[in-house]
Chain A
Amino acid sequence: MTFETECHTVGVLIASRENVPPQTRVNRVAENFFGSTSLDAVAIVEGNEPVGLVTRQKLLFTLFRRFGFELYGRKPVITVADTEPLTIHKNERLDVAIDMALQRPVEDIYDEIIVVNDSSCFMGLLSVKQMIIQQSNALANSMVQKEIAKARIKELENIEKIKSQFIANVTHELRSPVNAIIGLAELMKISCEKGYMDQLNDRLSLLMSSASNLRAIITNILDLSKIEAGKMEVIYEGFDMAALLRESAETTRVLLGNKPVEVDVITPISPLHIVSDPLKVRQILTNLLSNAAKFTEKGKISLLLNEEEGRIKIIVCDTGLGIKDEDISRLFTAFTQLEDVTTKRHEGTGLGLTITKNLIRMLGGSISVSSTYGKGTAFEIVLPKMSSE
């Protein structure tokens, strides 16, 4: 793509080829102007060569003056014409032509320009107004294109940044539990060899939780790869949404451990039967609720279910950390975590919300978020009640 303003030559912009011989009577030319309101000027051509120009404005002005018709009507048009009109070659550049036109006296500025070919033969007339419009369109276009290109470059830079941040993130998030597992296993081996059994149980629990942490991360990475490869399938089934919500709430309470956070479920309609993919809906809820549990230290996590016009609406809201306005747009970008990798307090790969958004899209729904930093966050999901298939 080039950022240059496109520079046309004037030849392609010829607006009209209207011309008359020099001896044509002024009245006849005037009739032409009366007959066609779009006719702005007529060239006067002798043989093939242009010898003058009459514009609608100037001709009519001459005729409508007192005794104008009587004085000039029957005279040859050449007597009232501009006999030195601006004449340029067909290969002249548009911007140069405009410059030349604008350098004329004010009353002539908008007069048409005559275009000739290599052998000075008349080719046509240029409308200055049209050329200026053309020129400013080209300029506007090139500016728009420049903006688009700039935005694209920025986007690519961002993607690059996100990619390398992903690598850093995933490297750490994958290796950390693997390394812990290896270390713990080695310790247990040493203990066994020496017959120290007392700490074995604690070590085993730690090892198992590291392993399931690792499994969760791997599952997320594989899920996202599956989505991106277009291999994720939706299997529709009827199920009770209210029950699924209560079940997810139960899991959230376990996740919260002994943090002072209540989990509320508000389901006015129960049971609420819907047709969708229950596994995917569960995964969506799990992702949103695990975030809520992760980023809420005290207060409440609420789950609200509603039905409206063939759709269901689920709101997951918390009284946690909240999200800054400027960060909202980055939330659903793969591998984006709002905390800095090296100092973050919370585990995760930044894939949860990206997967969630994709799953919701696959189910024909939508997700939106509103949040107040320091106060809490609310995610709202809308899903069709019945599958569209």
Chain B
Amino acid sequence: MRKRILIIDDDVRHLITAKEILEEEGYEVITHHYAFGATNTVRVQQPDLVLLDVNMPGLSGDRLSKVMLSNEKSKDIPIVFYSSNDEDSLRKAVSEYGVKGYICKGSIFDLRKGVAYYLGQSQ
């Protein structure tokens, strides 16, 4: 079965690029623009992996991850931060919020490798 990946970001440019790159890899990719309503999309779509941007207006990705991890219907779906933030701060956020890990934006190679890694891990 094709793996389903959900990308949540406020920046359309990142949604477009990540979606296409991952579709090239043969994944099924859904995108959600902005943080609002994202928890619902997660519950309905039940993706195999969530790529979550951190800096988003209104509700930041790290706080959104907390909401998702505390909900029965989404708590087992692996979340990975996908962000342009400083790597140290991402590492800190990962341990603080208890998500699976992070992928730095900006390298197609890292994105492909990271997604494959975290999907493999969740099997």
Contacts and interface: CB of A to CB of B under 8 A. Distances in A.
Interface string A317-350: 0000000000000000000000011111100000
Interface string A172-198: 100110111011101100100000000
A167 B11 CA distance: 21
B17 A343 contact: no
Contacts of B55: 172, 176, 341-344
B105 A342 contact: no
Contacts of B49: none
A344 B57 contact: yes
A368 to B, nearest CB: 30
Contact of A179 (B14, B20, B89): B14
Nearest to B61: A342
B58 A186 contact: no
Contacts of A168: 85-86, 89
B84 A184 contact: no
B106 A345 contact: no
Interface residues on A, range: 20 to 34
B17 A184 contact: yes
Given A179-B106, A183-B108, 4 more contacts: A172-B84, A183-B17, A184-B17, A187-B17
Contacts of B21: 183, 186-187
B20 A190 contact: yes
Contacts of B62: 342
Given A175-B84, A176-B84, A182 B106 contact: yes
A389 B116 CA distance: 66
Interface residues on B, range: 20 to 34
B60 interface: yes
Interface in B1-36: 11-14, 16-18, 20-21, 24
A171 interface: yes
A320 B46 CA distance: 40
B14 A180 contact: yes
Interface of B: 11-14, 16-18, 20-21, 24, 54-62, 83-86, 89, 105-108
A96 interface: no
A256 B16 CA distance: 25
Given A186-B21, A341-B55, A345-B58, A180 B13 contact: yes
Contact of A171 (B13, B56, B84): B84
A344 B58 CA distance: 7
A163 to B, nearest CB: 13
A184 B106 contact: no
A342 B14 contact: no
A347 to B, nearest CB: 10
A180 B11 contact: yes
B13 A210 contact: yes
A206 interface: yes
A343 B56 CA distance: 5
B25 to A, nearest CB: 12
A187 B16 contact: yes
Contact of A183 (B13, B54, B58, B83): B13
- What are the 8 closest A-B residue pairs judged by CB atoms, nearest first? A183-B17, A342-B60, A179-B106, A345-B57, A175-B84, A180-B13, A179-B105, A176-B84
Contacts of A345: 57-58
B86 A171 contact: yes
A168 B88 CA distance: 10
A140 B8 CA distance: 59
A203 B24 CA distance: 17
A341 B17 CA distance: 23
Contacts of A187: 16-17, 20-21
A161 to B, nearest CB: 14
